[in-house]
Amino acid sequence: MLRQALLAISKSRRAERLVTSSPLTADVVRRYVADDIGAVVDRLTRNGLLVSVDHLGEEVADRAQAQRAVGEYLSLLDRLPAGADVSVKLTALGLRLSEQLALDHAAVICQAAESKAITVTLDAEEHDTIPGLHAVHATLRKEHADVGVVVQAYLPEALERCQKLGGARVRLCKGAYTAPGAYTSTADIDLSFVRCLKALMEGTGYPMVATHDPRLVRIASTLAVLAGRDVAGFEYQMLYGVRPGEQTRLAGLGAKVRVYVPYGADWYAYLMRRLAERPRNLAFFLRSLVSR
């Protein structure tokens, strides 16, 4: 219930104006969103962590906005070290205006990233954008073999999707939105996650295990061993600000751990999804508003 309400609020312009105009949200935003992206990337990489950087923004209204998003990514690529990844939302590149436009924009980013030994991963967003996401990903892969894509385990078609994505870099997550027909119970989502994970580990691609769930992290390491993958054959991924101790613990054990680091002014929808993931976060958020 609360999750649905927060996800609905994440799309409300009125709520966005209210929350973003309040100086009191700054602490909560800082927990999940990098204020100085260069300094955060430096700190994480010095601690043995990899990064995937997301320039916040989604749902552009026109072509000029989409072009500005491409420009942001191009200047971001100049500031990232080799081995980094950038996470891209196709709606920020104009997917809802035209699939071809988003494809052209994503291709420009992939080309620039490739020349700097940086990878690109396409985020999965609202359910109506998923067919476009996979169509764009399939076309991009013909020129840029290592462009990655996110699969959301809450979608019943997730397993088939993972099986079809042979050879690809696939980031598996539970899913942060809502979708008609999607699994909603924890048990169903976790079961789907494990089935997908098994398919990815046994497949020929590169699995990116995007979860903070301790049980799924343990299962991932077991499935990797059973599939004959060593630590270089897959990676864990976690969000900036979520379980940082676990991120460094896993990296200390020799695992590859990539932190998804969002930055930029357009943080509202991202923050609301983080609050929706964990009701306790909402209490933390509300407390930060009243404790000033």
SS (H, E, C) 190-204: HHHHHHHHHHHHHCC
Tally of CA atoms within 13 A in the half-sphere of 24 that contains its CB: 12
164 is in an annotated binding site: no
Residues that bind ligand FDA (CB under 6 A): 123-124, 150, 152, 171, 173-177, 210-213, 237-239, 242-243, 260, 274, 277-278, 281
| Active site (annotated) includes residue 123 | yes
Residues in the chain: 292
Q: How far is the CB of 250 from ligand FDA (least distance, A)?
A: 13
How many whole angstroms separate alpha carbon 90 and alpha carbon 75? 18
Q: How far is the CB of 69 from ligand FDA (least distance, A)?
A: 16
Place of tokens 């357009």: 266
211 is in an annotated binding site: yes
Beta carbon nearer to ligand FDA, 63 or 249: 249
Q: How far is the CB of 153 from ligand FDA (least distance, A)?
A: 8
| Count of other CB atoms within 10 angstroms of residue 289 | 13
111 is in an annotated binding site: no
Beta carbon nearer to ligand FDA, 123 or 266: 123
Per-residue tokens: 192:
């789907």
Q: How far is the CB of 64 from ligand FDA (least distance, A)?
A: 25
Beta carbon nearer to ligand FDA, 110 or 153: 153
Please tell me which residue in 123, 169, 258, 266 is annotated as part of the active site: 123
152 is in an annotated binding site: yes
174 is in an annotated binding site: yes
Beta carbon nearer to ligand FDA, 99 or 123: 123
Please tell me which residue in 141, 161, 169, 171 is annotated as part of the active site: 171
Catalytic residues: 123, 171
**Binding region for substrate:** 89, 273-274
Give binding residues for FAD as ranges.
152, 174-176, 211-212
